[in-house]
Structure 1
Amino acid sequence: MSETNRIEYKEKLTKDLDLEKEVIAFLNYLEGGLIYIGIDKHGKTLGVNDIDGDMLKIKDRIKNNILPSAMGLFDVVTEERDSREIIKIIVAGGSEKPYFKKKYGMTEKGSFIRVGTAAEPMPQTMIDKLFATRTRNSIGKIKSHRQDLNFEQLHIYYQENGKPLNKQFKKNLELLTEDGFLNYAAYLLADVNNVSIKVAKYKGLNRVELIENNEYGYCSLIKATKSVLDKIAVENTTFATITSKQRIERKLWSPIALREAIYNAIVHNDYTREVPPKFEIFDDRIEITSAGSLPEGLSEVDFFEGVSIPRNKELMRVYRDLELVEQLGSGIPRILESYGKECFRFMDNFTRMTFPASEKVTEQVTEQVTEQVTEQVLKLLSKVDQNEYTTTELMNLSDIKHRPTFLYNYLQPALDAELIEMTIPDKPKSSKQKYRLTEKGKQF
């Protein structure tokens, strides 16, 4: 493969290689691009000798030599090609153009743009125009209305990931405005805030009959994200066909696509509108809605081809540090592997992803329940219809003579699994006690 407007090859990383120029050119380019280290200009794979050392140098150079900060807008990963290891630098188009070399500032000597297969100096008129229209309405530039914020949860998450935060973490993670105040990104990641994410569940195909309404938030966005993931993982029920010999399972939705969609909705939500993302489960689908449509200048074609313009680079950086999201531009392709482009809907102020369910949602039996079901319980359920039965009647239906065996191996496990219930639950030993199928039992 030869070089293109979005692909640049470099034989090796040296002090003389103007890596910053190439990165800046892609940051200033709408579609971003890829820089490969270890491939010559003809596309021949040479490999990299010191992968770890070179990756560290690349990250340091991009972090320290480019302004505005490119953190959250690039990834440095390894890749194998022709049995050799190379380095791939993934650069997203930035929203704070013009980007430039810290040493030279916003001048033709410091700013570059991708022209064909080369990084060319940006004309001063273009630099001035881009600076005049630079996006100001971002969570990194908005001052938090609260400055008494604590970050114990964030410290814990970084510590658990082997990346303890130092005293300069607010500056390093870009949680401060240019004049040193905590910004809105800091507010979202703080231990206490007023942001809550809703996970709602409805019976039927519309929003008329609400079954559950859960809210996760008022805490670090990282913690809220994990809570949403856990809740929807439970809802992504395993539908199981169980016999005495085998168990055939399938999920309501693709776990990989669902996970990517959740992260995408939370990390790229437009929080400047003060509207958090929401997750809604219906009988035939799950809808994931986030505030904000496509970033300015990004078309649907660009979006589906994996072009990445992170809306909240501060959040993207933290989520990548904690290994919650992978490399830039990888989420949408993973979703498209399971669901077509038609699952996306771009509105004026919102973006919605809709994943159809493989089965009717409210008829599923959870994984936890199905794992409790034994052959004895299956036998009991197969004999019971919609009527109410005494213990003796259930024993006769199941053809069990020994009462203790029936109670401990058949009836009690069915009660524990909530597949059968008492008609008089507040008086378990009542002489008038009978048993019937629960709603779960009927579904099962």
Structure 2
Amino acid sequence: MPYTPHTKSDVREMLDVIGLEKESDLFNSVPAELKVGHMNLPDGLDEFTTFARFKKLAQKNDTDKVMFLGGGYYDHVVPSAVDALAGRSEFYTAYTPYQAEASQGTLQALYEYQSLICELTGMDVSNASMYDGATALAEAALMAVRISRRNKILIDAGVNPTYIEVVKTYLKFRDIEVEVIDMDADKTDFSKVEDKIDNTIAAYLFQNPNFFGTVQDFEGIVNKLHEHKALAVMSVYPISLGLIKDPGSLDVDIVTGDGQCLGNYLAFGGPTFGLIATKQAYIRNLPGRLMGKSLDKDGKELFVLTMQAREQHIRRHRATSNICSNQNLLALRSTIFMSLIGRDGLVNMAELCYNKSEYLKSELSKIDGLTICNTGATFNEFVIETTLSADDFLAKLADLGFYAGINLSNLYKDSDNKVLVSVTEKRTKEELDDLVKAIGGVL
């Protein structure tokens, strides 16, 4: 390893101190039969050849199809300014600085991120981001248990199924009961939820729009929860908040979501970041990093990591969470994105998503052999059922140049013919019409 900053004399001195003859003696405790002999690796390549090799490998990726995939990860516009600003060397790190106050630019950017998330969600306080939407929801469940001092969580079956599994995993060995409440087709059955709410419940976790794209009014459920001193935890699709009432106006207690849609690309499902925001009263139970604004001894404004006594590097096993970092770079990208598009831009994006989805839904409903399964209002996703199996349906459309949706039979029972279709502002009318024509052809 010629790039290792140890000279031969440094290595010799270290070996002498620990009483070894050569570096390989460090591995004497490893049985000989477990040691790897000579590795048949090719010689290193020059820069040009390396790029050519990777370009050839990248050609195996099937990236030229028209995208109608969703389910938590979406093909939204990313302005080029996001890449340009986030790529600056001062910013280009995925990590929260530990010598935090020496990194005023990073702290200020994250402070702005927190402010924007609060404005977006209508909540009082946000942390500096979580790892993704699923872990943010799981952390919110733990937060609710700490606040309420109860150990039962209700989860709506309309929550992203991968999120539900992560929540179950987080809570499994914590003596916390988790109950998933079945839905009425694509909708939450409010009467069923109300019957489950009592003084033993820590929180009810729900998603709006739900995983099937349906939008509902949960204000009555939130009020019922508060009557029993239980918490309302809402998972959101951030772009939808350009049209839908923000969680703060519903008096929701904790808001979570996935930030991939805010200026970050699709990349095999990641990387992404999670957002979490809450009421001021619950700030000391909020997990993760918090940026604050203060004054130095000379009265100058500065930014700090604040309320660190909640965190793992200080409280260890008594911390609010095991997270001791954040998704710094991706949260920064979302800050740039939200600042660029502004309030009007978010509303415009949401309207385009909704209107294009409604157009596609209307056109697809005219095709024999296809049914729109959603019985309620939707935002930009909806479920279709066809006479073909979901596997065959999607394979035929892939051959025609479309990623037409998510195969729900991989996630739910009795869904062999069902597909979740998503539409974003990037899809043109021509692409929507082409998909309708292609589906009509395969059915």
Answer yes or no: same fold by TM over 0.5: no
Q: Between Structure 1 and Structure 2, which shows a larger proportion of helix residues?
A: 2
Whichever structure has more strand as a proportion of its residues is 1
What TM-score do you get using the length of structure 1 for normalisation?
A: 0.24
- Relative to the length of structure 2, the TM-score reads 0.24
Larger Rg: 1
Q: Which has the higher relative contact order, 1 or 2, with Cα contacts under 8 A spaced 6 or more apart? A: 2
